[in-house]
Structure 1
Amino acid sequence: MVSFAKRYSLQIFLFVLVLIFAIAATWMYWPKKQELPIERNAPAFSMENVDGSTVTLAGTNGKVRLFYFFFSHCTDVCPPTTYMLNEVQDLLKEKGVFGTEANLISVTFDPLRDTKERLMTWATEMNKADLSGWYFLRGDEQQTAELMKGFGSAVMKDNDGNFSHTNLVTLVDQEGRVRKYYNANDLEITAETIADGVMSLLK
């Protein structure tokens, strides 16, 4: 009596072959998660934090960072963007990465008015920043403008001391490379969008 396997060996072989091709085709054409491109290397810096410590790019390497350039006397885009970063902070805390694997770094380009005391008030009273993982930095005004340029951002000061500036949140990876810019003026950009970007670099 001819066994089932022998009788249908050709059909079984063809079925297995078709199955292999189907699996291979699915793997080849399945939408793959796109890695964030490398935009540029973040420029080196050394600035004073609100607690008096010195923060550098190299000293924060090993963590994903979100950079935001602002000034506390801003009455336009800085307050709502900083509020959104507060929400990002909370989301990163929920995921257990805030301060340990990810930092927020806000840099003022108005150091004459944004003293350490002013920044501390801005961070902890006007906002709910957790300073264990969120730095508020200040340095020389001209050097800060150059730093912004190195990050791909810009600021202009008029004769009355008012500032015009880009409103970007910049995502920097663990090796100090800029991976994405978030236009905080874009209503489609949310705290979840930015937190997801951070988490994509931690996987």
Structure 2
Amino acid sequence: MSKKTNYSYIGIAFIILVFGIIFIPKIVDRISNSDISRQESRSDQPKEKELKKSDLVFIPNNGVNRKVPNFSFTNQYGKTITNKDFEGKVYVIEFFFTTCPTICPRMNRNLIQIQNEFKDFDDFGVASFTINPDFDTPEILKAYASKYGVTNPNWHLMTGNKEAIYKLSNEGFYIYAAANDDVEGGFEHSGNFALIDKNGFIRCRVVNGNPIIYYNGITSESEKTDEDGKLEEISALKEDIKKLLNE
């Protein structure tokens, strides 16, 4: 073998050595970084899910978190609406009646304000159940909705079987409702709102270590406090709706 040939092999070996020194560490480094990125990406997923959970609590009852009971009623357009129509939505629940001369107008003005604040959210709604279904027909409810400015397609004002509505109110939500000829308007009921998450669970904030469970729906933000000096809770409700929408 000639010296020239030896020099050629030496030259090729030298080139391979230089290539290895310069480029192989870079390739290894890129692969390593890619692996780290993938691992970090996978490890971040649970963290992202955790970050989406709000601080709003569930309401336990006999060891089970309270959920909206099954219901089926007729809305202001004559359409049957069930709890399944609200799946995947954050919504507020109220019990009212259209001829209510006292707290209902205040409650529904507050709900209109909330509706308008969340007008750009397709996954927000309101469920309003009349406690006077004998009078509050779909036609009456439709006129009432128009009067107050209900525009959210997910706001259903519902009527139906009286016993089923009262059972839903008093036993399903523990939100008091009853007929009473001795009170103005002929019915008495709670002015509270219940807040429901996208999975149908009742949720609320914790104040001074205790869940508030419901939100005062009567006192407006502008009023600040009620006649007993209790702070309004509409602003808190708005904040908590936002939290659930982001979950």
The structure whose RCO (Cα within 8 Å, separation 6+) is larger is 1
CA 1:148–1:52 in structure 2 vs 1: closer, same or farther (change >3 Å)? same
Do the aligned residues in 1 keep the contact of 2:90 with 2:125 (CA within 8 Å)?
Answer: yes
- d(CA) in 2 for partners of 1:101 and 1:159? 39
1:133 aligns with 2:157: no
> 1:12-71 CA distances to partner (integer Å, 9 max, x unpaired)?
xxxxxxxxxxxxxxxxxxxxx961111121111011111111111122111101111100
1:58 aligns with 2:58: no
1:35 aligns with 2:55: yes
Give 1:121-160 correspondences, 5 Å limit: 121-125=143-147, 127-149=148-170, 150-159=172-181
Question: 1:59 aligns to what SS in structure 2?
Answer: helix
Larger deviation, residues 193-202 vs 78-87: 193-202
Q: Aligned pair count?
A: 166
- d(CA) in 2 for partners of 1:103 and 1:36? 18
Match among 91, 102, 105 for residue 124 of structure 2: 102
1:73 aligns with 2:95: no
CA 1:177–1:120 in structure 2 vs 1: closer, same or farther (change >3 Å)? same
- Partner residue of 2:108? 82
- Partner residue of 1:184? 217
State the identity %.
29
- d(CA) in 2 for partners of 1:74 and 1:135? 18
Give the counterpart letter for 2:151 in structure 1.
D
- d(CA) in 2 for partners of 1:166 and 1:76? 12
Gaps of 5+ in 2: 1-52, 60-65, 205-213, 220-224, 226-230
Match among 192, 196, 199 for residue 239 of structure 2: 196
**TM-score of the two chains, using structure 1 as the length reference:** 0.76
- CA drift at 1:159: 4.4
- Partner residue of 2:75? 49
Measured on the aligned residues, the alpha-carbon RMSD in Å equals 1.8
- CA drift at 1:132: 1.3
Do the aligned residues in 2 keep the contact of 1:67 with 1:170 (CA within 8 Å)?
Answer: yes
Match among 192, 195, 198 for residue 168 of structure 1: 192
- Partner residue of 1:111? 133
CA 1:131–1:49 in structure 2 vs 1: closer, same or farther (change >3 Å)? farther
- d(CA) in 2 for partners of 1:195 and 1:142? 31
Do the aligned residues in 2 keep the contact of 1:88 with 1:192 (CA within 8 Å)?
Answer: no
- d(CA) in 2 for partners of 1:131 and 1:52? 16
Give the counterpart letter for 1:178 in structure 2.
I
- CA drift at 1:133: 2.3
- d(CA) in 2 for partners of 1:89 and 1:198? 11
